[in-house]
Amino acid sequence: MPTPDFLGLGAGDILGAMITPAVLISASGTLVLSTSSRLGRVVDRIRKLMAEAESLPDESAAIEIVEKRTLIADQIDWSTQRLWLLQRALIIFYASIGLLVGASLTVGLSATTHGALGWVPVGFGLLGASGLMVGAIMLVREARKAVNGTLNELDHVRKVVERKTSVRALPEEKPEGGQGE
């Protein structure tokens, strides 16, 4: 029995075109795994900050406690922003996977209608690829927020070290008699 001829394409050509979005689907899966891991780390960080906040004395006005409360509040703010970005990126990546699978499936549909629905797989593919781009941009924004949050934490660490360091670096002293160098 001969293979049906769709727009002059053989079944192998059509199946090849249906498989093409698989490369982007695979990339999407990698982004979903990476983003899920980042989301898990942010959730763990928020839980750690919550435990730290709960362990602080309730009504202490000591400078160390006040600074620690401020740091925790700032870190929770940074982490919350990251959490929302990661959640939205995951949703976009999942939608992109669905659109790319739709593109793959509708290639066959388009072939059976002799190209009358050729715009459908192209539309699905473009939307899916655009979703990957938007999700990637969101991950860049999340990474920048992660760095900013870490820099904020490092500023706090510098203040703590400075406060707890009892010996300050002194300018180089000249030898006795004022003779230098």
- 136 domain residue, yes or no: yes
Look at residue 18 and tell me if it is in a domain.
no
Q: Check residue 1 and give its pLDDT.
A: 44
**DSSP letter assigned to residue 113:** T
The string of pLDDT tens digits covering residues 124-169 is: 999 999 999 999 999 999 999 999 999 999 998 888 888 888 555 4
For the record, the structure tokens of 118 come out as: 């050729």
Please name which of 159, 149, 179 lies closest in space to residue 72, comparing C-alpha atoms.
149
- The least confident of 4-13, 64-73, 110-119, 145-154 is 4-13
Does the residue 158 lie in any domain? yes
**In this structure, is residue 114 part of a structural domain?**
yes
Domains: count for the chain = 1
Model confidence pLDDT, tens digit, residues 33-82:
999 999 999 999 999 999 999 998 888 778 888 888 889 999 999 999 99
| Residue 51, in any domain of the structure | yes
Domain span holding position 46: 24-164
Task: Confirm whether 125 is domain-assigned.
Answer: yes
Does residue 118 lie within any of the structural domains? Answer: yes
How much is the pLDDT for 31? 92
